[in-house]
A and B are shown apart, each in its own frame.
Chain A
Amino acid sequence: MSSNVHSPGAAAAAVSGRPGRALARAAGALVGGPMLWRLASVALFCLTWEVAGRIPVSYAFPTFGATAAAFAAMVADGSLPAAFAVTLLPLVIGVTLSAVLGVGIGVLMGLRRGAEWIAAPVFIVLQAAPMAALIPLVTFVYGIGLTSKVLAVCLLALPVIALNGYKAVRNVNPSLLAMARSFLASPWQRVVRIILPDASPVIFAGLRLGVSAGFIGVILAELLITPTGIGDLITYHRSIANYAEMYASIASIIVFSAVTLAVLQTVEVALFRPEKKGT
């Protein structure tokens, strides 16, 4: 995950020239590394967890084995899948909304000076700001239902998606733009054939950051305001001191988000990066 895709300012360029590239590299290390190393890495993590649980570091720190067993039990009795379904619905709605709106606004800000002047500062502020503070406010207006959760997701996901779209378009390779102009591309052709394809890696990086922020938002909303889904599982098992179940819920949502992001990247490469296939 790159730094610069997340940064609102000029320093983005200092990191790797083009935003998104560091992200692609990081993911490459994640996916492309030798299988053996990854297995060793996972094994080491589980072993450390197990040992820490055996010591134990805290009465509230279950071993890896106990957590895995709790996970299996929760999958078997259906409580975990049900909680996932409840959590994922607002996440999917919120991220979809944010993606459509965010990419639209972001690209518009990148293309139009007027839109940039009006909207970019707002998104720069929102992206750097702790938007989580506004989640209690959302509950006022929309209660503790689905709408609140969707809004919580949008609050966290929209700014980063919009800002990435904006930066992606503003950082399009000027040489390609000159090329399109010299070969008589119309403004529309320039947008569709040059700007959007060249900006798409950073736009997709923004979408992944948005998904990641959306996960944070939906969990936060469930912990803070609406006791449902994974958040409820965490709170409930904590309240009755079922620590293995609590850890299993947390670990499962973290692993799930990591897998989701990896899948999104694979899909992106498969659908939109013909030049990267098989390399």
Chain B
Amino acid sequence: MTLFGVRVPMMASLILWCVLWEIVGRLDLIFLVPPFTAVLAAAWELVNTGTFQRATVTTLWAFFVGMGFAIAVGVPVGLLMGRVPAADRLLGMWVNVFVSAPLSALVPVLMILLGMGETTVVATVFLFAVWIIVLDTRAGVQHVPASLLEMARSYGAGRWRTLTRIVILSALPEILAGIRLGMIRGVKGVVIGQLLISIIGYGELFELYSRNFLMEQFWALTILLFAFAMLVAEGVGMLEKKIEYYAGVRQ
């Protein structure tokens, strides 16, 4: 991938867009778009407020707990589906349905089953993230070269050791890709869950700012969220790059 070589200068164009934003904001054309620098200033102030910090803790907690569950469930289910054809046939259809289903419609159900609290947000994150992790893990397991499995068998590795020493390691690139995509979806899930519940975390803040037309704060929060989403994606992306070398060799 030459992308990495290209990416650094490519991302520089974002600065250009920020400058454009600043100009539009300064011209005062639309009250919805305050100058970019004003948004940055608001972001700085926001970060230092107690409300924001509490909301951040709530949001991060829901995100990471939800992701933890998604990984803890998604990877084993994916491994199962990849290794056991019957499980694959029984579950495959539903995983495929839910990976692209409008899960936002399920949040109201979670709200009545789990209450209007953080549990619902955790469940939303889980629901958004888990399916893609299952699918990618399954794909990774199915891509394990047959010769590696035969090698393990011919050297006397049992089921368990084949799984831990061959299958999981060989599928690791796909599993990590699934987790990265799951995290991107999880961030969306945490925001959608909180927006719909609208009394906890960032959802409460969004609600507050948009009701009171506090555009600078609104955009500041949005930018912080976007930055967090990119950070999460890039973080796992870097981990993936570290093990990409043997994924390349494997093909």
Chains A and B in contact, CB within 8 Å? yes
A residues lining the B interface (CB < 8 Å): 1-4, 6-17, 22, 25-27, 29-30, 33-34, 37-38, 40-42, 44-45, 57-58, 60-61, 116-122, 125, 128-137, 139-141, 208-209, 212, 215-216, 218-220, 223-224, 230-231, 234-235, 238, 243, 246-247, 249-250, 253-255, 257-258, 261
Out of B11, B100, B184, B207, name the residue touching A128 (CB < 8 Å).
Answer: B184
Assuming the contacts A125-B226, A130-B229, A133-B191, asked whether A250 and B106 have C-beta atoms less than 8 A apart, the reply is yes
Chain B residues close to A by CB (< 8 Å): 1, 3-4, 9-11, 13-14, 16-17, 32, 88-94, 96-109, 112-113, 132, 135-136, 139-140, 143, 173-174, 176-178, 180-181, 184, 187-188, 190-192, 195-196, 202, 206-207, 210, 213, 218, 221-222, 225-226, 229-230, 233-234, 237, 240-241, 244, 247, 251
A132: chain B residues within 8 A (beta carbon): 104, 188, 191-192, 195
Interface contact A212-B135, CB-CB below 8 Å: no
Having A14-B240, A121-B14, A258-B100, one finds 11 other A-B pairs with CB under 8 Å, namely A22-B135, A25-B139, A30-B92, A41-B93, A130-B187, A131-B188, A133-B195, A133-B221, A215-B102, A218-B102, A230-B105
Interchain nearest-CB distance for A225 vs B (Å): 10
From B104, B173, B213, residue with most partner A Cβ within 10 Å: B104
A3 touches B218 (CB 8 A): no
Q: Are B180 and A121 in contact (CB under 8 A)?
A: no
CB distance A3 to B132 under 8 Å?
yes
Q: Which 9 A-B pairs have the closest CB atoms?
A: A130-B191, A215-B102, A10-B1, A212-B100, A37-B89, A129-B226, A136-B210, A258-B97, A60-B112
* B90 with A41: CB separation less than 8 A: yes
The answer, among B13, B99, B108, B140, for a CB contact under 8 Å with A1, is B99
Output the least CB separation between B119 and chain A (Å).
13
Question: B13 contacts A121, CB within 8 Å?
Answer: yes
Shortest distance between the CB of A135 and any CB in chain B (Å) = 7
User: If the complex has contacts A9-B3, A30-B92, are A246 and B135 also in contact, measured as CB distance less than 8 A?
Assistant: no
Identify which of B90, B108, B176, B225 contacts A133 (C-beta below 8 A). Answer: B225
Give A209 Cβ to nearest chain B Cβ, in Å.
Answer: 7
14 pairs across A/B with beta carbons < 8 Å?
A2-B139, A3-B177, A7-B180, A9-B233, A10-B3, A117-B13, A128-B226, A133-B225, A137-B218, A140-B213, A220-B195, A231-B105, A238-B112, A249-B105
Contact A38 B108 (CB under 8 A): no
